Chains A and B, each alone.
Chain A
Amino acid sequence: MSNTEVLTFAPGNGNGISTHAQVRRVILCAGTGCMANGAMKVYEQFKSEIASAGLRVILELRAEAAGDEIRLSKSGCQGFCQMGPLVSVVPDGILYTKVRAEDVAEIVRETLTSGQVVERLLYKDPATRQSCRGLEDNPFYARQDRLVLSECGFLDPEDIHEYILHGGYRAAKKAFVEMTPEEICKTILDSGLRGRGGGGFPTGRKWEAARIQNSTKKYVICNGDEGDPGAFMNRSVMEGNPHSVIEGLMIAARAIGANETLVYVRAEYPLAVERMRHAVAAAEQEGILGKNVFGTGLSMKCEVMEGAGAFVCGEETAMIASIEGQRGMPRPKPPFPAQSGLWGKPTIINNVETLAHVSRILNVGPDVFKSIGTPDSPGTKTFALTGHVSNTGLVEVPFGTTLREIVYNIGGGVTDDAGKIWKTGFKAVQIGGPSGGCLTEDHLDLPLAYESLRSVGAMVGSGGLVAMNQGTCMVSIARFFMEFTQRESCGKCVLCREGTRQLLALLDDVIEGRADQNTLDLLEKLGHAVQVGSLCGLGKTAPNPVLSTMRYFREEYEEHVFEKRCRTGRCKALLSPEINQVKCKGCGVCIKACPTGAISGEKKQPHSINPELCIKCGACATACKIHAVEGI
């Protein structure tokens, strides 16, 4: 392609795309997060300000560009959502954060016309208080290894030409024109790529199992039903680089001999659905999808289906049922979908992130892919870092990176509820969502990989990492996940349906002060039973958050049970508010504030609370100016 000279794609240098020196480019993050913070207003403002500054705005990618032209484009999620809307200026390599429409005129005047940096819009590292000019000196980005995500923040997801100009669909062409299905399967197997959706099954083995099936009809499904609360890496890839997903699907289809593919996207991601549909239409228009792919005479179809809100549909066999128009309930395996899947035909289901790795493996070769990560878990993994850390967002790091690196160096450290750095505040990290477990301070130096996590009772899962500070009650966290899995249990297996309900009731007993030693024993026993007695991943892993918190925070459970006390004060039922008789001045403010009339006392005499009437709402403690109400 002759146009490739105009823009050279250089992943890893931090800039992503460098253009010819004279063509400046302004890239606005248009992911869900930045859009919510008003990115579109900023975009419109840029359009008019650039034009009124006498510069020409180009919205479409063109081979020829003049010196006074500024290319304005939207990108997918750059993963630093909390600081959005994000605006990058390349080739200057500047990243502006929290940009408002009012700031645009200044950026156009200072940066686009005079080449100066607008200092106040730069990101300030909360630890060092230093301003960061761009990605290279921003600890959040500089310490990551962005491979899948690199293009997400720079390519215009709605412009297929940009993807093609940066080497897109080259791997798909290679797969169709130069390689045999056996070779593709072998390349993926050699790379050691493992499923990024949770289980970590070797992708090459899955493909090979489907390839050897003797069937004229086969299917490839992309699992974009990212249901784990707290994980959003698949959303970002579908929104930011949808063509990489389609290319991965095409290669997978070629590898197993399928000509129909389907992307199943979670209904809560309307923007991802829209971008995927747009990308499929563009690929059809360019003849990349269609009847005669790359002149090989082979056909390739891609459909986008929106889920209807059922977490269990992330499970392969449940997803197949859902696509077939049934209730999304899993069925026993074997037969595995690779043998008998959608409409009884051999089917492979791969996660979005897995597929996004595929084209790169074909381009750079399995050895380069394997050169980072650990021997058992090669490559990079994207984690969604959220919760009580300074920098929340998407973090792509090689497998084997320690938790300490992610939480303290990339995440910028643990924060309190108000968002201020809390140096000694680290309590735990919940990894892998409702199927995963907790990691404690002892695990900060554990290299994160499939096997190492399994050995401590957690799992990579889809990669949700929720950091929690000392103010978080671990029993309540376990209850939160149990409530989620209980609600999402499809009801097919008795132990999952009834067991999760009972586990939830037992946790309520702990939280509300009705528990004794038996409750704890029963929680463990039932937890193990649910693991063994459930068919699919949902039930098998549902007790993990409970068992893992019981393993590492046993003393907190025991405090709840034997001392009827929650050290964080989050469990309201265990609170016993009392008025400090020495501090109380008898002003009567608390009497007025109490909604149940539980407080009584003479004026200027210490008041007291009647525990029979008290509903532990905390209104008295909020009202008291001298903090005489204690224990709430």
Chain B
Amino acid sequence: MASMPIAVDRAEKFEKVVSILDRHSRRPSGLIPILQAIQHEYQYLPEEVLTYVATSLDVPPARVFGVATFYAHFALEPKGKHVIRICDGTACHVKQSIPVLNALHQKLGTSEKNKTTADMLFTIETVACLGACGLAPVVVIDEQVYGQITPERAVALVDEIKAQEAMPTASAAEQLSAEERHV
């Protein structure tokens, strides 16, 4: 699989997009659910896919890019394998979420501008509110919610993931599928 010719790989990529477009009957009104499905597939919105979507829906690329850049959930750049989201809603903020964010940035060498680590393992984001205010401050790592977090515990969680990643037992197939998503 890994040695698959690039041309075939590209065709496969657009095949997925085609099936997503078909599922939404190629209606421009379904642009947001279409982009959500594409992002779900690729983890981000590759530029050539967006232009392809525009052509398929018969709308100007500017319209598609306009929507893709408007909403916070759409990413135009690939994200790391593990996405860490730090809640900075009011409740989390007054309960000191920023020190948690700073500790993670320091740990991973990331910053507000540079959200993803060079090895593409981690992306750090802040979100306005996850609605789990009773547990403030909250951090979400790959959809798993961790409540009442401290800078120390957040760093420990990152260490745990790093340790798991370093283990050779992670099946090659799993790794491959993760890589494929970042085409």
Most buried by B among A327, A393, A433: A327
Contact A37 B147 (CB under 8 A): yes
Contact B70 A268 (CB under 8 A): no
A456-468 contact mask (Cβ, 8 Å, vs B): 1 or 0: 0000000010101
A387 to B95 alpha-carbon distance, docked (Å): 7
Chain A, residue nearest B89 (CB): A229
Chain A, residue nearest B29 (CB): A325
Contact B30 A325 (CB under 8 A): yes
Contact B90 A466 (CB under 8 A): yes
A28 to B67 alpha-carbon distance, docked (Å): 40
A79 to B90 alpha-carbon distance, docked (Å): 18
| Interface: A402 (CB within 8 A) | no
- Give, as a whole number of angstroms, the nearest-CB distance from B133 to chain A: 4
Chain B, residue nearest A433 (CB): B90
What B residues does A324 contact at CB under 8 A? 29
Contact B128 A311 (CB under 8 A): yes
A433 to B132 alpha-carbon distance, docked (Å): 15
A72-91 contact mask (Cβ, 8 Å, vs B): 1 or 0: 00000001111010000000
Contact A310 B31 (CB under 8 A): no
- Give, as a whole number of angstroms, the nearest-CB distance from A272 to chain B: 8
| Interface: B176 (CB within 8 A) | no
A464 to B95 alpha-carbon distance, docked (Å): 15
- Give, as a whole number of angstroms, the nearest-CB distance from B62 to chain A: 11
- Give, as a whole number of angstroms, the nearest-CB distance from A365 to chain B: 33
The segment from B2-10, B12-20, B71-79, B157-165 that touches chain A is B71-79
What A residues does B35 contact at CB under 8 A? 308
- Give, as a whole number of angstroms, the nearest-CB distance from B95 to chain A: 7
What B residues does A401 contact at CB under 8 A? none
A90 to B84 alpha-carbon distance, docked (Å): 39
Contact A327 B66 (CB under 8 A): yes
B99-141 contact mask (Cβ, 8 Å, vs A): 1 or 0: 0000000000000000000000000000111111111101000
- Give, as a whole number of angstroms, the nearest-CB distance from A198 to chain B: 15
Contact A269 B131 (CB under 8 A): yes
| Interface: A372 (CB within 8 A) | no
What A residues does B27 contact at CB under 8 A? 325
Contact B145 A35 (CB under 8 A): yes
What B residues does A361 contact at CB under 8 A? none
Tell me the A262-276 residues at the B interface (CB within 8 Å): 267-270
Contact A392 B66 (CB under 8 A): no
Overall SS of chain B's interface: mixed
Most buried by A among B30, B131, B136, B146: B131
A267 to B72 alpha-carbon distance, docked (Å): 10
Contact A81 B132 (CB under 8 A): yes
Contact B90 A230 (CB under 8 A): yes
Contact A308 B131 (CB under 8 A): no
A574 to B66 alpha-carbon distance, docked (Å): 41
| Interface: A67 (CB within 8 A) | no
A375-394 contact mask (Cβ, 8 Å, vs B): 1 or 0: 00000000010111000110
What A residues does B72 contact at CB under 8 A? 308-310
Chain B, residue nearest A233 (CB): B131
Contact A466 B31 (CB under 8 A): no
A32 to B130 alpha-carbon distance, docked (Å): 9
Contact A33 B132 (CB under 8 A): yes
What A residues does B132 contact at CB under 8 A? 32-33, 36, 81, 232
- Give, as a whole number of angstroms, the nearest-CB distance from A574 to chain B: 17
| Interface: A484 (CB within 8 A) | yes
A235 to B132 alpha-carbon distance, docked (Å): 9
Contact A305 B134 (CB under 8 A): no
| Interface: A306 (CB within 8 A) | yes
Contact partner of A230 (CB less than 8 A), chosen from B33, B129, B146, is: B129
- Give, as a whole number of angstroms, the nearest-CB distance from A265 to chain B: 11
What B residues does A270 contact at CB under 8 A? 143
The 3 lowest CB-CB distance pairs between A and B, nearest first, are A81-B134, A229-B89, A36-B145
Contact A267 B73 (CB under 8 A): yes
Contact A325 B127 (CB under 8 A): no
**19 examples of A-B residue contacts, CB within 8 angstroms:** A33-B134, A33-B147, A36-B147, A37-B135, A84-B134, A227-B128, A230-B129, A231-B129, A231-B131, A305-B32, A307-B73, A308-B35, A309-B73, A325-B27, A325-B31, A325-B67, A386-B90, A392-B134, A488-B128
